[in-house]
């Protein structure tokens, strides 16, 4: 419970991230900080150059892979409270977004604040599910915060993908998928759907898939596209970074059916712009119903909204007599992680 109707003095939303000013700790800071609590490994949340980095084991491994090993801080288990000074504790709670992703619960003298980072409410075979956590202030992402964004069941999108492959034995399916999270989820979901053939990877996907495997996620047979002949890739499924769709690299593939896995594929124009023939609406973020459902479920005293379409969610909160405000964090642009 908040001690007064005013924002607690020990937390401040600044342009560079969420700041705990009494101890000068930051959450997902966009510039180098002495002490950074990091929700997950995507580049708009995890940057290089911090002093101490406190994150889950998988997130610290991802940071090490991208920027080199952090100099200080340590791995935190989920639900392990960390005393960070000024009577504040930080606890990492599963966010269901990508491997290692966490919400951060900040507590001080009975006041509870949740920083969700990015999250989703759908099951994902590559990470632990979102753990709803009661709080006074909920700081939520709003990437897909418009009622038009409703993500279909992933089973439906995977079935469309497999049907396209079945119908086109002389072509390959080339899926553009973000290298951290999306790519691994697609592979795991293909396996769950009973697809057991080799899945082919662009070279840029390999290191992150291996990292997931070291953390116990199983993918079955994966191989590098560069090791296969054009003929051998007919009727096969290939996963590449979104930037490699329509690239010179893709030209040696057998008549690829361009697919792209993203929540943005709900917007037809986005698929057209990227020359995507098979848009797959697969997102690692909440859709509109998941966002509003989470706010209703947790019913915090106040909701702070960041990176996305704040206006629609602000309006929705007002309609439901819930206090809300939009934050103005820098560097949280929409991108292919969607
Ligand atoms: Zn993210
Ligand atoms: Zn994000």
**Looking at 75-89, 255-269, 304-318, which range is the least confident one?**
304-318
Is 75's pLDDT higher than 90?
A: yes
Give the model's pLDDT for residue 309: 82
Is 337's pLDDT higher than 90?
A: no
Three-class HEC string of the chain: CCCCCCCCCCCEEECCEEEECCCCEEECCCCCCCEEECCCCCCCCCCCCCCEEEEEHHHHHHHHHHHCCCCECCEECCCCCEEEECCEEEEEEECCCCCCCEEEEEEECCEEEEECCCCCCCCCCCCCCCCCCCCCEEEEEECCCCCCCCCCCHHHHHHHHHHHHHHCCCCCEEEECCCCCHHHHHHHHHHHCCCCCCEEECHHHHHHHHHHHHCCCCCCCEEEHHHCCCHHHCCCEEEECHHHCCCHHHHHCCCCEEEEECHHHHCHHHHHHCCCCEEECCCCCCCHHHHHHHHHHHCCCEEEEEEECHHHHHHHHHHCCCEEEECCCCCCCCCCCC
Q: What is the pLDDT of residues 261-304, one digit of tens each?
A: 999 999 999 999 999 999 999 999 999 999 999 999 999 999 99
Q: pLDDT band at 245, cuts 50/70/90?
A: very high
Residues of the chain with CATH 3.60.15.10: 12-148+285-326
Is 318's pLDDT higher than 80?
A: yes
Q: How many Å lie between the centroid of ligand 1 and the Cα of residue 234?
A: 33
Give the model's pLDDT for residue 228: 97
Is 186's pLDDT higher than 70?
A: yes
Residues with CB under 5 A from ligand 1 (ion): 42, 118, 337
Q: What percent of the chain has pLDDT over 90?
A: 93
Is 229's pLDDT higher than 90?
A: yes
Q: pLDDT band at 6, cuts 50/70/90?
A: confident
Mean pLDDT of 225-231: 97
Ligand nearest to the CA of 178: 1
Mean pLDDT, rounded, of the chain: 95
Ligand nearest to the CA of 42: 1
Is 76's pLDDT higher than 80?
A: yes
Q: How many Å lie between the centroid of ligand 1 and the Cα of residue 263?
A: 13
Q: How many Å lie between the centroid of ligand 2 and the Cα of residue 196?
A: 32
CATH among 3.60.15.10, 3.10.20.30, 3.40.30.10, 3.90.1300.10 for 12-148+285-326: 3.60.15.10
Name the pTM for this structure: 0.96
The CATH class given to the 154-280 domain equals: alpha beta
Q: How many Å lie between the centroid of ligand 2 and the Cα of residue 228?
A: 35
Q: How many Å lie between the centroid of ligand 2 and the Cα of residue 29?
A: 12
Give the model's pLDDT for residue 70: 82
Give the model's pLDDT for residue 5: 65
Q: What is the pLDDT of residues 190-212, one digit of tens each?
A: 999 999 999 999 999 999 999 99
Give the model's pLDDT for residue 336: 66
Is 334's pLDDT higher than 60?
A: no
Q: How many Å lie between the centroid of ligand 2 and the Cα of residue 165?
A: 32
Residues of the chain with CATH 3.40.50.12650: 154-280
Mean pLDDT of 174-181: 97
Is 325's pLDDT higher than 60?
A: yes
Q: How many Å lie between the centroid of ligand 1 and the Cα of residue 321?
A: 29
Q: pLDDT band at 3, cuts 50/70/90?
A: confident
Ligand nearest to the CA of 284: 1
Give the model's pLDDT for residue 263: 96
Is 4's pLDDT higher than 70?
A: no
Query: Which of 330 and 145 is assigned the larger pLDDT?
Result: 145
Give the model's pLDDT for residue 332: 64
């Amino acid at each position: 419970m908040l001690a007064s109707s005013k924002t607690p003095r020990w937390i401040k939303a600044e342009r560079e991230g969420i700041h705990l000013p009494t101890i000068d700790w930051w959450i997902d800071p966009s510039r180098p900080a002495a002490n950074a609590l990091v929700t997950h490994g995507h580049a708009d949340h995890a940057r290089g150059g911090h002093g101490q980095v406190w994150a889950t084991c998988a997130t610290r491994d991802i940071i090490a892979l991208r920027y080199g090993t952090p100099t200080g801080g340590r791995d935190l288990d989920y639900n392990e409270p960390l005393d960070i000074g000024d009577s504040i504790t930080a606890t990492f709670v599963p966010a269901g977004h990508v491997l290692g992703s966490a919400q951060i619960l900040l507590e001080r003298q009975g006041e509870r604040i949740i920083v969700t980072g990015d999250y989703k409410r759908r099951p994902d075979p590559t990470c632990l599910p979102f753990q709803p956590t009661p709080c006074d202030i909920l700081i939520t992402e709003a990437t897909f915060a418009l009622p038009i964004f409703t993500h279909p069941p992933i089973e439906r999108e995977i079935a469309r993908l497999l049907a396209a492959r079945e119908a086109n034995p002389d072509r390959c399916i080339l899926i553009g998928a973000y290298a951290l999270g999306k790519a691994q989820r697609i592979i795991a979901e293909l396996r769950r759907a009973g697809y057991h053939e080799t899945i082919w990877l662009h070279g840029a996907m390999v290191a992150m898939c291996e990292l997931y495997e070291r953390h116990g996620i199983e993918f079955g047979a994966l191989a590098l596209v560069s090791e296969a002949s054009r003929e051998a890739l007919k009727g096969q499924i290939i996963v590449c970074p979104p930037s490699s769709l329509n690239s010179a690299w893709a030209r040696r593939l057998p008549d690829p059916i361009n697919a792209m896995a993203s929540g943005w594929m709900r917007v037809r124009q986005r698929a057209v712009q990227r020359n995507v023939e098979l848009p797959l609406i697969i997102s690692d973020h909440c859709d509109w119903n998941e966002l509003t459902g989470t706010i209703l479920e947790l019913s915090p005293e106040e909701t702070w909204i960041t990176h996305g379409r704040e206006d629609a969610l602000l309006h929705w909160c007002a309609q439901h007599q819930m206090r809300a405000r939009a934050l103005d964090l820098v560097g949280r642009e929409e991108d292919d992680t969607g």
